[in-house]
Amino acid sequence: MNEPPIRHAEPSDYQPIIAVVNDWWAGRRMSDMLPKLFFVHFQTTSFVAEQDGKIVGFVTGFVSQTFPEEAYIHFVGVNPMSRKSGLARALYERFFTTVQNLGCRTVRCVTSPVNKDSIAFHRSMGFSAETNGSEKTIDGISVFEGYDGEGEDRVLFYKALGDNRDGY
């Protein structure tokens, strides 16, 4: 199977994505975390993969406005039918190249400690986890309790990008 082509996200990609994103996350209510603004105001650092005219994966993120040498990945989603194909990796790599060309040297993201697939994925992509000395850990990784509000624990990942523009 050929890799689906990856292109910049557009506002019109939002409706087909938001309609399926909870299903892609096995029923977890993720849609509140993905307002349309990411597909309007962060198109330069947001991407979709299409196959046979259908969106099968996407990533959305931005360049930090506080720390212009840092980029942040807010949300990634891949159709369960398209998993294990390297598509999430390809979307991340496209994001890395893009933000590196925009002058970023670090990529950050957060994920939920219950999402073991996400933790394994980020580790396989070369991300490291922030430590906070908390006793609460998952697989040896620090959990930041209530990071995104009450009950919303998070694991904090970061990855250094190479300091040349050819690779990362």
Interface residue list for a second copy (CB under 8 A)? 15, 18-19, 31-37, 40-45, 62-67, 70, 72, 74, 110, 146-150, 152
Question: Count of CB atoms within 10 A of residue 67's CB?
Answer: 13
Pairwise CA distance, residues 166 & 90, whole Å: 16
Nearer to a second copy, 3 or 69 (CB): 69
Q: Which of 157, 47, 62, 161 is nearest to 111 (CA)?
A: 157
Nearer to a second copy, 66 or 101 (CB): 66
Q: Where are the alpha helices (DSSP H) in the chain?
A: 14-18, 21-24, 37-41, 87-101, 116-124
Residue appearing with tokens 């073991």? 116
Categorise residue 103: left if φ over 0, alpha if ψ from -120 to 50, beta otherwise: left
Pairwise CA distance, residues 6 & 151, whole Å: 35
Least distance in Å: CB of 20 to a second copy?
A: 11
Nearer to a second copy, 80 or 146 (CB): 146
Nearer to a second copy, 33 or 120 (CB): 33
Least distance in Å: CB of 148 to a second copy?
A: 5
Least distance in Å: CB of 60 to a second copy?
A: 11
DSSP assignment string, 116-133? HHHHHHHHHTT-EE----
Nearer to a second copy, 22 or 137 (CB): 22
Least distance in Å: CB of 64 to a second copy?
A: 4
Least distance in Å: CB of 18 to a second copy?
A: 4
